[in-house]
Structure 1
Amino acid sequence: MRLIEVSELRKAYAGRVVVDGVSFSVERGEIFGVLGTNGAGKTTTVECLQGLRSPDSGTISVLGLDPARDAAELRRRVGTQLQDARLPEKLRVREALALFASFYPNPADTDGLLTQLGLDTHRDVAFGKLSGGLRQRLSIALALVGNPEVAILDELTTGLDPHARQETWQLVENVRASGVTIVLVTHFMDEAQRLCDRLVLLDQGRVVATGTPAELLADTGQPNLQDAFVALTSRN
């Protein structure tokens, strides 16, 4: 079942086109990657999915809702971890979860989330004292506290060390196993190859290819997504 459908999405800023005719769909229960280098139009695309940006043209359906028209309902059903999201330095982990839980009619059990994401021993630590990896764990917890059907994770592992990245990848896989459909925005090709069931490759605001990692590797004859991306962009 398709939970998200995007057709011919376009967005420009001051005459500069940043998303140019992007189309893709996301199926229930998968990790779907929006992949591309910095400036490819990834974040603008998912901000349109969330109703944070208004597209210039094209259509978007998320859980059968129009993000522009049904923004309030969409926020109750879609959890979001935004790139570079920050909290007040003195806000404690448990306080942040309690605050975000208060925004939803049927929030998740916050103690359960703390345990699930390995934050239970850090519940009284202030945000400003958390390591990069723990901040990302908290970001995931905040995206899940509303019991969403879809979670959008934007550049989740940027700035993390290799160990923290591996731990975060495992958390993402665990979240999907719990029944949440995930849209993963990333510029890391190894991350997409490890996590994504399917993905869309963007370059300069346009779709280069869509498919499973295995399909894209087979299409290009390359051993990894990094090399496949280079091969695919050179065709366009």
Structure 2
Amino acid sequence: MTAAREQRLTEVFVEVADTLVEDFDVLDFLHRLSRRCVELLDVSAAGILLVDAHGELRLVAASDEDTRLLELFALQHDQGPCVDCFRTGTHAVNIDLTHAATTQGWDRFAARARQSGFTTTHAVPLRLRHRVVGALNLFHTQPTHLCDKDLTLAQALADIATIAILQQRTLEAAQTEASQLQAALTSRIILEQAKGILAERLNLTPDQAFNVFRAHARSRGQRLSDTARQIMDGTLTPTTNP
């Protein structure tokens, strides 16, 4: 490995370290990674597809506009090496886009790729153990084979992307969980306050007051927290016969 290549690879791992912070921009990272793939693997272009919450592949990054349009075409027609790679979880390399036998099943994608000037393509899964979250597509404008060493590096870069994506999703899930927990705690405080207010208004015990406003909320299909806020701001005083 040349010194320049080692330096660029080091920079990639430094960029990966940045994914551990909460305000990390995963899209910017993946766009940079697509360009790093071009530099490190000596390919002409790269694109990254990612599965969304509904199990559908989406384009998230491309090294250039032609590749972006080609990947969108692949998704639109649901065909191409990246689509197959995602579904199988296995890589497909050294695909000759000019040979009908090697592009069987996605001839429209191959024709579009050739129009974009590409002659060879490779697809590598974004995978962590048995979980596949997307695929990395690499393209050559000249008939070129990806050697075993470069394939290993390509899979390593795909693994880096996977780690970054899953790290970001973990952070987002943690933030959502924390937000939901805080909302639940806040709602509980409001409920206790409303229960005390209603108990005083209706001369009830706290338990009796809670049963009254819970029955009121249920009979009207309201959330307890919404009913509690109405009691607190004085716009609602449920009766003992809702």
Task: Give TM-score, length-normalised by structure 1.
Answer: 0.28
Q: Which has the higher contact order (CA 8 A, sep 6+)?
A: 1
Q: Give the strand-richer structure, 1 or 2.
A: 1
Task: Give TM-score, length-normalised by structure 2.
Answer: 0.27
Q: Give the helix-richer structure, 1 or 2.
A: 2
